[in-house]
A and B are shown apart, each in its own frame.
Chain A
Amino acid sequence: MKDSSIYIENAKVLNHQHMEGGQHIIRLESEKCSQYAKPGMFIHLKCDENTLMRRPFSVMRASKEEKWIEILYKTFGHGTNSLKLVEVGDTLNYMGPIGNGFSLSKKKTIPLLIGGGVGIPPLIFLASEIKEFCNFKPIIFFGSEVTFPFKYFPSKYMIKDFLPEVTASPDFIEAMGFVSRLASQQDYPGCYKGFIHELAEHWIKTLNTDQLDKVCIYSCGPTPMLEAVSLVARKYKIDCQICIEEHMACAVGGCAGCIVKIKDNNKIVSKRVCVDGPVFKSSTIYYE
């Protein structure tokens, strides 16, 4: 028998914010999930009563004291399009928190957070945990092809030997006292025009070997982005944890629908993204 660690909640919608680019932030009451959620963990949510399958979403914020969790989602197909119609005061059913989140290492005092698109939310959670529980100074890169789901300004923090024209930094990260920059293929002011892994590599190149030794990458985003980030990690021999997405049915380890192939002692094994992940060491992922 496993430890009962996934809770099913029938929760009131406390807030539902709609932003540009089909992005939404929903705050849900949470007796239990709020108490145990960790960055990288997710919830499995019934978007509406008539949709058979639940949808997985990363926890973006959790308040233990006020007992709520927040997710940020982008409208995509019929589940998220029906979710966006939910109003404050309505009830939603979800299960969580699910999976193994990111793990911070004492030795890796320079966390490098790389989040793309709907991979940004778990890294926002990770940044808040770093702020609350350790004195690490992370560097945070976010990328998006639609308007960023937050305000950003030219940063007051300079980065030595770094691209001077890339200045944009999210307001709330700046308020945490952390250094951050943004990337997009779109022409957004102050943002790096290109891929986020390229932006991260520009920064990595500014480090000396001592510093490089202290870096660990934490990343979440679309699969091609994670593959590119994993290659950068390999090139510079940096530890790297990635949070991956796969289609899910049960999200409790019962159906084996959500697998990723992992290298395990010269053998390839199938692991379940829901309960064995969704965070894995990038060096263990087997890309065919």
Chain B
Amino acid sequence: MLLITCPWCGPRAELEFRCGGEAHIARPADAMNISDADYARYLFMRKNPKGWHYERWNHAAGCRRWFNALRHTATHEIRATYKPGDRKPEPPR
């Protein structure tokens, strides 16, 4: 089980959180007029990397706020958690 640091509440067990999948996916501003292929890219296509992954978490059984995390999908190491709107951290090299 992961130990996740909520930017507001501090380190808590994964059981308190809900995973919201890939982060930093912006809804197309002009959604009515983009092509079906572009809409599919927004709605369905995911990077799903084997490596560093930006993802969203919700502290469902805590402060109930959303935040972002930079986590490695092969080692599960969480390098950073940060509030929405914060600059996203660079993945370690």
A and B associate: no
A residues in contact (CB < 8 Å) with B: none
